[in-house]
Amino acid sequence: MQYRFSVDDTLLAAAAVSFDVFWYEVFNALLFGARLVILPPGLEADVPYRLDLVQRQSVTMVIATPSLLSLLLQEAQPDQLRSVRFFSVGGEALTPNMRARFHEALPDIPLMNAYGPSEASIVVSYERADLPARWTTIGAPIANTQLHVLDARLQPVPIGVIGGLYIGGHSLARGYLNLPELTVERFIVHPTLGRLYHTGDVARRLEGDSGVPDTFEFLGRSDFQVKLRGFRIELTEIEQVLLSHPGVEAAIVVIDGRDDEPRLVAYTVGDASIPVLRAFLESRLPHYMIPAAFVQLDAMPLTAHEKVDRRALPQPDYSADSEPFIAPRTDTEHQLATMFQELLGVQDIGANSHFFHLGGHSLLGTRLLMRIRRAFGVTLYLRILFQTPTVAALAQKIDSAASTIQDDREHIRL
Choosing from 292, 307, 339, the residue where a domain stops is 292
pLDDT at 359 over 60: yes
CA atoms of 71 and 68, how far apart (whole Å): 5
**Is the residue at 408 inside a domain?**
yes
Q: What CATH number has the domain bearing residue 390?
A: 1.10.1200.10
Beta strands 187-190 and 194-206 are antiparallel
335 in the same domain as 288: no
**Is the residue at 168 inside a domain?**
no
Q: Which of 83 and 64 is assigned the larger pLDDT?
A: 83
CA atoms of 123 and 145, how far apart (whole Å): 10
pLDDT reported for residue 9: 95
pLDDT at 281 over 60: yes
The one-letter amino acid code at 254 reads V
Q: Which of 134 and 366 is assigned the larger pLDDT?
A: 366
pLDDT at 127 over 70: yes
**Is the residue at 143 inside a domain?**
no
Choosing from 292, 311, 344, the residue where a domain stops is 292
Mean pLDDT within 149-178: 95
**Is the residue at 288 inside a domain?**
yes
Q: Give the model confidence (pLDDT) of 372-388 as tens digits.
A: 999 999 989 888 998 99
410 contacts 404 by C-beta, under 8 angstroms: no
CA atoms of 50 and 360, how far apart (whole Å): 20
CA atoms of 188 and 190, how far apart (whole Å): 6
Q: What is the mean pLDDT of the chain?
A: 86
201 contacts 147 by C-beta, under 8 angstroms: no
Band the pLDDT of 240: cuts 50, 70, 90.
Answer: confident
Phi-psi sector, 76: left (phi>0), alpha (psi -120 to 50), beta: beta
pLDDT reported for residue 411: 44
CA atoms of 17 and 38, how far apart (whole Å): 10
Per-position DSSP letters for 328-360, written without gaps between them: --SHHHHHHHHHHHHHHT-S---TT-BTGGGT-
Q: Give the model confidence (pLDDT) of 186-228 as tens digits.
A: 999 999 999 999 999 999 999 876 556 789 999 877 776 777 7
Residues 6+ apart with CB under 8 A from 304: none
The helix or strand, by DSSP H or E, that contains position 25, with its residue range, turns out to be: helix 20-32
Band the pLDDT of 1: cuts 50, 70, 90.
Answer: very low
**Is the residue at 25 inside a domain?**
no
Mean pLDDT within 87-99: 85
Look at residue 42 and give its three-state secondary structure: coil
CA atoms of 195 and 336, how far apart (whole Å): 54
| Residue span of the structural domain in which 232 resides | 227-292
CA atoms of 64 and 72, how far apart (whole Å): 9
pLDDT reported for residue 211: 59
**Is the residue at 21 inside a domain?**
no
Q: What CATH number has the domain bearing residue 279?
A: 3.30.300.30
pLDDT reported for residue 155: 97
| pTM, entire model | 0.69
pLDDT at 130 over 80: no
CA atoms of 52 and 65, how far apart (whole Å): 18
pLDDT reported for residue 207: 83
**Is the residue at 398 inside a domain?**
yes
Give whole-number Cα distances, 275 to 252, 272, 293, in Å: 17, 9, 11
Listed in order, strand segments (DSSP E) in 207-262 are 215-221, 225-228, 231-234, 248-256
pLDDT reported for residue 345: 85
208 contacts 214 by C-beta, under 8 angstroms: yes
Choosing from 273, 292, 311, the residue where a domain stops is 292
pLDDT reported for residue 414: 37
CA atoms of 146 and 124, how far apart (whole Å): 8
Say how many domains are in the chain: 2
pLDDT reported for residue 204: 93
CA atoms of 370 and 63, how far apart (whole Å): 21
pLDDT at 267 over 50: yes
pLDDT reported for residue 303: 67
Q: Which of 306 and 214 is assigned the larger pLDDT?
A: 214
Q: Which of 11 and 98 is assigned the larger pLDDT?
A: 11
Mean pLDDT within 262-272: 90
Q: By percentage, how much of the chain surpasses pLDDT 90?
A: 47
* Length of the chain in terms of residues written: 414
Mean pLDDT within 359-364: 83
**Is the residue at 239 inside a domain?**
yes
Q: Give the model confidence (pLDDT) of 333-347 as tens digits.
A: 999 999 999 998 888
173 contacts 119 by C-beta, under 8 angstroms: yes
pLDDT reported for residue 413: 41
pLDDT reported for residue 70: 82
Stretch among 86-95, 125-134, 274-283, 404-413 having the lowest mean pLDDT: 404-413
Stretch among 11-20, 172-181, 236-245, 401-410 having the lowest mean pLDDT: 401-410
CA atoms of 117 and 119, how far apart (whole Å): 5
Q: Which of 320 and 21 is assigned the larger pLDDT?
A: 21
pLDDT at 89 over 80: yes
SS3 content of the chain, % helix, strand, coil (to 5): 35, 25, 45
CA atoms of 225 and 341, how far apart (whole Å): 30
pLDDT reported for residue 260: 57
Provide the H-helix boundaries in 190-271: 235-243
